A and B are shown apart, each in its own frame.
Chain A
Amino acid sequence: AQSVAQPEDQVNVAEGNPLTVKCTYSVSGNPYLFWYVQYPNRGLQFLLKYITGDNLVKGSYGFEAEFNKSQTSFHLKKPSALVSDSALYFCAVRDTDTGKLIFGQGTTLQVKP
C-alpha cells in the first residue's frame, strides 16, 4: 500500500531563515509526489509536484522540494522563510492505479518575525 509520512507536527523557524518540512513516502513503482498548502480559512493550494526528471523541483511562492529516491524522501524547502508562509503543509502521493491522492498528516509551519 502506498503511504506518506510527515514526521513533524509543527516546524518553527525565524523569518529569513531557511525552512525544511519533511516528507517520506512508500510506494510500489514510480512515485508521483505533491505538496499542498492550506492557509487559514482557505482550501488546499497546489505548490509543486515531482513526476520525473530533476530531483530538485521548483514551485509556487519560492518553495522547492528535493526528491531523494534512496531515502524515499520529498522534503519541502525554502531558502528564506516569510511570516506569510505560516500555514499547514501536506505532502501527498498519487496512487497510479486509482488516481487518488494519499496525504500525510500535515505539518504546521510557524514563521516568527
Chain B
Amino acid sequence: EAGVTQFPSHSVIEKGQTVTLRCDPISGHDNLYWYRRVMGKEIKFLLHFVKESKQDESGMPNNRFLAERTGGTYSTLKVQPAELEDSGVYFCASSQANRPNSPLHFGNGTRLTVT
C-alpha cells in the first residue's frame, strides 16, 4: 500500500507570504495528524482529524494556521501570513484506528523555510 505522502517536500517563502502544505494519508485511515519540528527541538503535535472533523487542535500555534480535511481524505495546512518562527519540518501522520497500540504512519515531511 502507498504510504503517507506530503507535498511539497521543501518550501522556501518570504515572511508575509502564504504557503499551503498537503498531506495524503494512507487510504482508509480515518485518523490524520499534523506535527511540527522546529530545528533541534521535539516534534510537537498540531492537530488531529477524525475523517473530516477536527478532533483536537490544541497544538495549533495561532490563527495564522488553518487546517482542513474536506471529504475526509487529504488534508491541507495553510500558513498565512508566514513568520520566521514558522520555519521547521511539518509532518503528517495517519492511523486506521485511534487505539493506543496503533502506530502512526508518518510522511516524509515538508521542510518549510521562511526568510
> What total of chain A residues lie within 8 Å of the partner, measured CB to CB?
23
Known: A43-B91, A44-B91. A100 touches B103 (CB 8 A): no
A96 touches B33 (CB 8 A): no
Q: Hey, which chain A residues are within 8 Å of B91, CB to CB?
A: 43-44
Query: Are B108 and A96 in contact (CB-based, < 8 A)?
Result: no
Knowing A99-B48, A103-B42 are in contact, say whether A43-B100 is a contact too (CB < 8 A). no
The answer on a CB contact under 8 Å between B106 and A36 is yes
- Any chain A CB within 8 A of the CB of B78? no
Contact check, A43 vs B109: say whether CB atoms are below 8 A apart.
Answer: yes
* A100-B48, A105-B41, A106-B42 given; A43·B98 CB < 8 A: no
Taken together as a complex, chains A and B put the C-alpha atoms of A44 and B104 apart, in Å, by 9
Closest residue of A by beta carbon distance from B33: A100
What size tier do the contact residues of chain B reach? 20 to 34
Residue of B nearest to A102 (CB): B45
Least distance between B3 CB and chain A CB atoms (Å): 8
CA gap between A44 and B42 in the complex, in Å: 13
Task: Tell me the A79-113 residues at the B interface (CB within 8 Å).
Answer: 90, 94, 96, 98-106
Q: What's the nearest-Cβ distance from chain B to residue A63, in Å?
A: 14
The answer to whether B48 and A98 touch across the interface, beta carbons within 8 angstroms, is yes
CB-based contact A32/B101 at 8 Å: yes
Residues of B within 8 A of A90 (CB): 42-43
Q: Name the A residues within 8 Å of B109 (CB-CB).
A: 43-44
> Is there contact, CB below 8 Å, between B45 and A101?
yes
Query: Hey, which bits of chain A sit against chain B, CB under 8 A?
Result: 32, 34, 36, 41-46, 49, 51, 90, 94, 96, 98-106
Which B residues have a C-beta under 8 Å from some C-beta of A? 3-4, 6, 31, 33, 35, 37, 40-45, 48, 55-56, 91, 93, 98-101, 103-109
